[in-house]
Amino acid sequence: MLLDRYVSHDLEKPLATWFLAFEQERGANEELPEEERDVSLVEYRRLISQSTDAEESIRARLDVYERRFFEAYPEIEQKDPERAFSHEQRLAIFRRDEGICQLRLVCNGDRVTWGHWHADHRVPHIHGGKTTVENGQVACIPCNLAKGMDMQTAATAESVV
Q: Is 126 exposed, middle or buried (0-12, 13-18, 19+ CB in 10 A)?
A: middle
| Averaged pLDDT score across all residues of the chain | 87
pLDDT (tens digit per residue) in 39-93? 999 999 998 988 788 898 899 999 999 899 989 988 888 877 888 999 999 999 9
User: For residue 145, what pLDDT is reported?
Assistant: 93
Task: Give tens-digit pLDDT for 11-48.
Answer: 888 889 999 999 999 999 999 999 999 999 999 999 89
CA–CA gap between residue 112 and residue 95 (Å, rounded): 12
> Whole-prediction pTM value?
0.60
pLDDT value, residue 156: 42
pLDDT at 50: 83
Domain covering 87-160, topology:
His-Me finger endonuclease fold (3.40.1800)
φ, ψ at 149 (rounded to 5°): -65, -40
Residue 159, pLDDT above cutoff 90 = no
- Sorted by where each begins, the domain ranges of the chain are 2-72, 87-160
Rounded distance between C-alpha atoms, residue 39 and residue 42, angstroms:
5
CB burial class (10 A; 0-12, 13-18, 19+) of residue 65?
middle
Asked if residue 136 lies in contact with residue 122, where contact means CB atoms within 8 angstroms, the answer is: yes
Helices and strands of the chain, counted as H and E runs: 6, 2
Q: How far apart are CA 23 and CA 11, in angstroms?
A: 18
